[in-house]
Chains A and B, each alone.
Chain A
Amino acid sequence: MATTTQAPLAAQLRSRWQSLASHRAIWPILALALIFTVDGVVSPGFFSIRIVEGRLFGNLIDILYRAMPTAIVALGMAVVIGTRGVDLSVGSIIAICGAVIAWRIHAGDPHALVLLEVLGVGLVCGLWNGFLVAVLDIQPIIATLILMVSGRGIGLMINLIYGGTNPSFISPLLQLLSVGHIGLIPARLILCAALFAALWLLIRRTALGLFLESVGGNARAASIAGVDARLIKFAAYLICGWCAAWAGVVLTADTHTSDPVSEGLYIELDAILAVVIGGGSLAGGRIYLGMTLLGALVIQTLTTSILTSGLPPEYNLVVKAVVVFAVLLLQSNNLRRDIGSAFRRSTS
């Protein structure tokens, strides 16, 4: 058994603090706490929640509600980033899915089937990305760039052939999933929670998580240890495409229109940010599902807070950039080390 030494109390406390400070959850939670504090000061009544016509209302609910599409995409993105990859095409996958929804509904398919078809399309897109990365061994940024550039065009093409420009549709089932509510809780929250649970089970209750993280950490070593690196990378992009399809359902049903040009625009950037704020590294290695959700919340909280604070909405992007930056800098070990040593020098 590995031996542990009895260290004096001060040293123990210091190492506790160090391990706490380096625990990745600290920074997004601190960021959230800070933003909420500012909210409480600047916008009194920020935290109030009321029930109107059987639904919950309030800023907090709003934050959760609006964060869902990004959060769902971010879950899949976290898996891909864990394998040292990235998927820039999720926005385009959403656009394609939107077009497919409108098309199949107009074609008369039962809506439950449409849902399955859309998820299938997401899987096919993931298969394509996976093929480029795992089989052709193309760098993920450039491989997924291909679908990113052409995907919206594909969506537009589907619309043209089957529905005209920006076809709209009515679908009680899909709209329930997207904007409806079950009891007091918005359905999309439950959807996200279910997706999180499903992914968590898949990754932590099977060996898939270990294989994904080992491929991300050192693909060569993993394959020598018997992991089928190709198949694992495929799986990662499949999962990401699947999650993007779900986000596509939520976003499209929300507007009940297919708009391939602007649907999910820049969502890949927000998703990547969510993963990074949640502690994931673009260099691969670890998948933090829960913290990714936290990261998505941080981003949305920022946006909503700015809106409610009375600041002109134009300030949104700038504040977002600054805060995200601050979190990243603090997470960066270099900076912490430099600040820490500067602090120690001044107090010694």
Chain B
Amino acid sequence: MPNLAMAPHFFLCPYVSWRRPSDRPMLVRLCESELPHVPQTSTARMELTGVTKTFGAVKALEDVDFRIAPGEVHALMGENGAGKSTLIKILTGALRCDKGEIRLDGQKVEFATPADARSHGVDAVYQEVNLIPTMSVTKNLTLGRQPQRFGLVSWKEARRRAKGRLKRLEIDIDVERPLGSFSVAVQQLIAIARALEEDTRVLVLDEPTASLDASETDLLFKIIRDLKARGMAIVFITHFIDQAYRIADRISVLRNGRLVGSDTTLNLTPVKLISLMLGRELKQAEERKTAGPVARDGGHALIALDFGRKRTLAPIDLSLQAGEVVGLSGLLGSGRTEVCNLIYGIVRPDSGTLEISGALVKAASPRASLKCGLAFCPEDRKAQGIIPELTIRENIILALQSKLGWLRQMTRADQERLADKMIDALAIVASDREQPVGQLSGGNQQKVVLARALASEPTILILDEPTRGIDVGAHAEILNLIRRLCGQGLALLVASSELDELVAVSDRIVVMRDRHKAGEIAGADMTRETVMHMIAGG
């Protein structure tokens, strides 16, 4: 059975030349034949009109319309920060919209809480499995709806019901074990089982396949088709284009809080879809590419040989020259972040060697890495990046100060100068440098974390999803900044899911697949298509 998770980019097949027609994988033909007939119903199951939601200064959603019919699978797509999760939260009652109207089966509704939405038959399953890991599967499945006998919970009946629900999804597990003892994939299926009540009318699935392998994804799609046949409306959020085309009847695209396009999967071509999602960025990125790679003459800033860690990353070879930009590409879970974490020392390697500027690195820790001239900007700014109560200035100078040690405190004047320089360079929007970082918008917080890494005067900079959550207009500025730094001799390792930006900015791209290095592409060969080809595995 071909690995469907690798399929995504094959679907752009009209734009990739095939040597022989039979080379087109069977699964693509399968996908095409699976495209469902779009039901033509005029009565919407659920209709949102003119939805607007603002958080402080940030407009998360602006005048968004969304419509889903019974028995329709509607894919909601858009890059991170486009407003998808906000829309879903409003749909399911976790948030109230500032403006706009929600109609369910023609009737106007207002959900005060998720429980309220649930009672109307609208339920959601989120990407972070929002269940209780310390409780058993039975308890998780029946929480809030336990069967009772004489006022007390009947666990025998609850177990029976739990097992029944899971059986419908073809899952057979020990329902008395704590939820946390199962893999994330199973937990997700359990979450879906919970959301499927008798009276569910609208089901929202937020990135349900992110942690599933091919067979688990097949199972999920089978379940979705069953539910569809029974008239359930399903909102399916995903960033996997192939899956959207495989299972959805309609696709809607959000960008920067606005609905930029919505059409049936038959009418919407993949190219149009990508252009809706990326917008003009596509053109800009391509323009930059023609400028050519920056000349570099430095020696090797970083050499990793046979570098890896059991169960985390298969041993890889990786090298970086001063002034070079190396991109790390691959699907979610392919090992991009793991490479960054291992090189920077957040996780200890158990094989191989790492040489920085010719010297062997022995102790793996962020402190040691900083001292060697490395700096790191992590992917998850909330958990690993910002310190919310501290001011912008304090956040920015932290890494540099760690390098200097606790005795050699930077003078206030120096701190302010450095902070101002960074605020300027990255265009951080804030009332002043003494504002607590927790009050800034997500994108600006990401910029502060980036500023911290830059401020530590590194010779090698590792960036994991540096443009995540930053408004699309600022992407270009940041990429420009990166290029300027490389002109000054900084070596850069950038892990990103934004393939076009990666291709535009990198001199070389390392492709990761399933926690090992699949290969490297450089020079004229380095196009979006060749990279995707290598990601898919050929």
Chain A residues with CB below 8 A from B456, complex form: 226
Nearest-neighbour CB distance to chain B for A209, whole angstroms, equals 9
Question: Considering only CB atoms and an 8 Å cut-off, how many residues of chain B contact the other chain?
Answer: 39
Cβ-defined partner of A2 (8 Å) among B408, B409, B430: B430
> Which residue from chain B places its CB closest to the CB of A223 in the assembled complex?
B366
Nearest-neighbour CB distance to chain B for A212, whole angstroms, equals 10
Expressed in whole angstroms, the Cα–Cα distance for A222 and B383 within the complex equals 10
| Residue in B383, B398, B433, B452 whose Cβ sees the most chain A Cβ within 10 Å | B398
Q: What string of 1s and 0s marks CB contacts (under 8 Å) between A174-195 and chain B?
A: 0000000000000000000000
B404 touches A224 (CB 8 A): no
Cβ-defined partner of B366 (8 Å) among A211, A218, A224: A224
Chain A interface: which of B143-151, B163-171, B388-396, B526-534? B388-396
A224 touches B407 (CB 8 A): no
**Residues from 207 to 227 in A contacting B, C-beta threshold 8 Å:** 207-208, 210-211, 213-214, 217-218, 220-227
A214 touches B387 (CB 8 A): yes
Expressed in whole angstroms, the Cα–Cα distance for A4 and B430 within the complex equals 10
Nearest-neighbour CB distance to chain B for A215, whole angstroms, equals 9
Chain B residues with CB below 8 A from A217, complex form: 387-390
B378 touches A224 (CB 8 A): yes
A2 touches B387 (CB 8 A): no
CB of B423 within 8 Å of the partner chain: yes
Chain B residues with CB below 8 A from A218, complex form: 383, 386-388
Q: What string of 1s and 0s marks CB contacts (under 8 Å) between A64-98 and chain B?
A: 00000000000000000000000000000000000
Cβ-defined partner of A207 (8 Å) among B346, B367, B409, B431: B409
CB of B9 within 8 Å of the partner chain: no
Contact A207/B388 with A224-B376, A227-B402 known, Cβ cut-off 8 Å: no
Chain B residues with CB below 8 A from A4, complex form: 431-432
Contact A220/B384 with A207-B405, A207-B407, A285-B389 known, Cβ cut-off 8 Å: yes
CB of A18 within 8 Å of the partner chain: no
CB of B525 within 8 Å of the partner chain: no
Nearest-neighbour CB distance to chain A for B89, whole angstroms, equals 22
Contact count band on A: 20 to 34
Cβ-defined partner of B409 (8 Å) among A205, A226, A286: A205
B386 touches A221 (CB 8 A): yes
> Which residue from chain B places its CB closest to the CB of A281 in the assembled complex?
B389
Contact A225/B389 with A210-B394, A220-B384 known, Cβ cut-off 8 Å: no
Expressed in whole angstroms, the Cα–Cα distance for A222 and B386 within the complex equals 8
Nearest-neighbour CB distance to chain B for A342, whole angstroms, equals 21
Chain A residues with CB below 8 A from B401, complex form: 207, 210-211
Chain B residues with CB below 8 A from A208, complex form: 406
Expressed in whole angstroms, the Cα–Cα distance for A227 and B404 within the complex equals 11
> Which residue from chain B places its CB closest to the CB of A212 in the assembled complex?
B406
| Residue in A207, A220, A225 whose Cβ sees the most chain B Cβ within 10 Å | A225
Chain B residues with CB below 8 A from A227, complex form: 367, 398, 402
Expressed in whole angstroms, the Cα–Cα distance for A280 and B398 within the complex equals 22
Chain B residues with CB below 8 A from A223, complex form: 366
CB of A347 within 8 Å of the partner chain: no
CB of B520 within 8 Å of the partner chain: no
Chain A residues with CB below 8 A from B428, complex form: 2
CB of A228 within 8 Å of the partner chain: yes
Cβ-defined partner of B367 (8 Å) among A213, A228, A286: A228
Expressed in whole angstroms, the Cα–Cα distance for A216 and B446 within the complex equals 20
Expressed in whole angstroms, the Cα–Cα distance for A217 and B367 within the complex equals 18
Chain A residues with CB below 8 A from B376, complex form: 224
Chain A residues with CB below 8 A from B367, complex form: 226-228
CB of A1 within 8 Å of the partner chain: yes
B420 touches A1 (CB 8 A): yes
Contact A2/B431 with A210-B398, A210-B401, A225-B452 known, Cβ cut-off 8 Å: yes
Chain A residues with CB below 8 A from B75, complex form: none
Chain B residues with CB below 8 A from A224, complex form: 344, 346, 366, 376, 378, 384-385
CB of A206 within 8 Å of the partner chain: yes
Expressed in whole angstroms, the Cα–Cα distance for A57 and B420 within the complex equals 52
Expressed in whole angstroms, the Cα–Cα distance for A217 and B437 within the complex equals 11
| Residue in A213, A221, A228 whose Cβ sees the most chain B Cβ within 10 Å | A221
A206 touches B407 (CB 8 A): yes
Nearest-neighbour CB distance to chain B for A16, whole angstroms, equals 14
Expressed in whole angstroms, the Cα–Cα distance for A138 and B408 within the complex equals 31
Chain A residues with CB below 8 A from B386, complex form: 218, 221
> Which residue from chain B places its CB closest to the CB of A285 in the assembled complex?
B389
Contact A226/B387 with A2-B432, A207-B409 known, Cβ cut-off 8 Å: no
A213 touches B389 (CB 8 A): yes
Cβ-defined partner of B423 (8 Å) among A2, A206, A286: A2
Contact A206/B406 with A213-B389, A224-B346 known, Cβ cut-off 8 Å: yes
Chain A residues with CB below 8 A from B431, complex form: 2, 4
CB of B248 within 8 Å of the partner chain: no
A226 touches B403 (CB 8 A): yes
Q: What string of 1s and 0s marks CB contacts (under 8 Å) between B364-380 and chain A?
A: 00110110000010100
Chain A residues with CB below 8 A from B366, complex form: 223-226
CB of B414 within 8 Å of the partner chain: no
Identify 17 new A-B residue pairs, CB closer than 8 A, beyond the known A218-B387, A226-B403: A1-B423, A1-B424, A2-B423, A206-B406, A207-B405, A207-B408, A211-B402, A213-B387, A217-B388, A218-B383, A221-B384, A222-B387, A224-B385, A225-B398, A225-B402, A226-B399, A227-B402
- B: residues with CB less than 8 A from A are 344, 346, 366-367, 369-370, 376, 378, 383-390, 394, 398-399, 401-410, 420, 423-424, 428, 430-433, 452, 456
- A: residues with CB less than 8 A from B are 1-2, 4, 205-208, 210-211, 213-214, 217-218, 220-228, 285-286
The 9 closest A-B pairs by CB, nearest first: A226-B402, A285-B389, A217-B387, A226-B370, A225-B399, A207-B406, A225-B398, A218-B387, A207-B409
Can you list 15 residue pairs at the A/B interface with Cβ under 8 Å?
A4-B432, A207-B410, A211-B401, A214-B387, A214-B394, A214-B398, A218-B386, A218-B388, A221-B385, A221-B387, A224-B384, A224-B385, A225-B366, A225-B452, A286-B389
